[in-house]
Amino acid sequence: MKKSTLLLAASLLPLLSACNSIAPNSAAASVATTPEAAWVGEARQVAGSVPPKLMAVLKTEMQQGGPAHAIGVCQVVAPNMAQAASQATGWQIRRVSLGNRNPKAVPDSWERQTLETFERQQAAGADASKLERAEVVTENGQQVKRYMRALPVQEACLQCHGTADKLGPGVAARLSERYPHDKGTGYLLGQVRGAMTLRQNVQ
């Protein structure tokens, strides 16, 4: 049940202003000008801080031992980093995907709806790196701040998440060994691979 809605997608802004010029009093115009709650900036910053750290580790591991080796590192390091960031910031942080590799990275219904929206926006030409959603929702009587930021497929991701022809040497075999139910391959450059998802109870 939604208490208040605040939908933020920077890449939608050109679209919104396009709507604006057609219908100056449309609801879309008021969404674009609603001042942002302070927690949104904080969530955005926290969500943005983890992926570059993880990618730095993966790059080093790929250089040293190749992508198949780096898979094993990612399996341990990625959840640990999310947990460390959760402890450091007071936000519950994890990664989710509609094509999840980690069996635990399944989105809940709010996250699923958000990821489906991100995928539609990306397919319609939006830059996936700009897609985000922030909202206060009520869950079992508790207000919860929720934030998601899309993780776009970059060149560096293709060795482990791309189509069969793009996967690195030994990657397919290692994946079927470690993630027998993997849905995290077959992605193309620019698509939404998944998202960082953050939540925190409203005090």
Does residue 198 contact residue 43 with C-beta atoms inside 8 Å?
Answer: yes
Q: What is the largest CA-CA distance in the chain?
A: 57
Q: Which is nearer to ligand HEC, 134 or 196 (CB)?
A: 196
Cross-strand partners of 187: 162
Determine the residue type at 127: D
Q: How far is the CB of 119 from ligand HEC (least distance, A)?
A: 13
| Count of CB atoms situated within 10 Å of the CB of 1 | 7
Residue 46, SS3 per DSSP: helix
85 makes contact with ligand HEC (CB under 6 A) = no
Q: Which of 40, 126, 157, 167 binds ligand HEC (CB under 6 A)?
A: 157
159 makes contact with ligand HEC (CB under 6 A) = yes
Q: Which is nearer to ligand HEC, 75 or 92 (CB)?
A: 75
58 makes contact with ligand HEC (CB under 6 A) = yes
- Hey, what are 134's tokens? 């922030």
Between CA 157 and CA 27 the distance in angstroms is 38
Q: Which of 44, 145, 149, 161 binds ligand HEC (CB under 6 A)?
A: 161
Q: Which is nearer to ligand HEC, 29 or 183 (CB)?
A: 183
Q: Which is nearer to ligand HEC, 93 or 184 (CB)?
A: 184
Dihedral of alpha carbons 49, 163, 72, 104, sign: positive
The answer for residues whose C-beta is within 8 angstroms of residue 126's C-beta and 6 or more apart is 9, 11, 12
Closest CA to 152 of 131, 135, 137: 131
70 makes contact with ligand HEC (CB under 6 A) = yes
Q: Which of 7, 10, 55, 202 binds ligand HEC (CB under 6 A)?
A: 55
The residue count of the chain comes to: 203
75 makes contact with ligand HEC (CB under 6 A) = yes
Q: How far is the CB of 164 from ligand HEC (least distance, A)?
A: 15
Can you give the binding site for ligand HEC, defined by CB under 6 A?
55, 58, 62, 67, 70-71, 74-75, 78-79, 95, 97, 100-102, 105, 151, 153-154, 156-157, 159-161, 184, 193-194
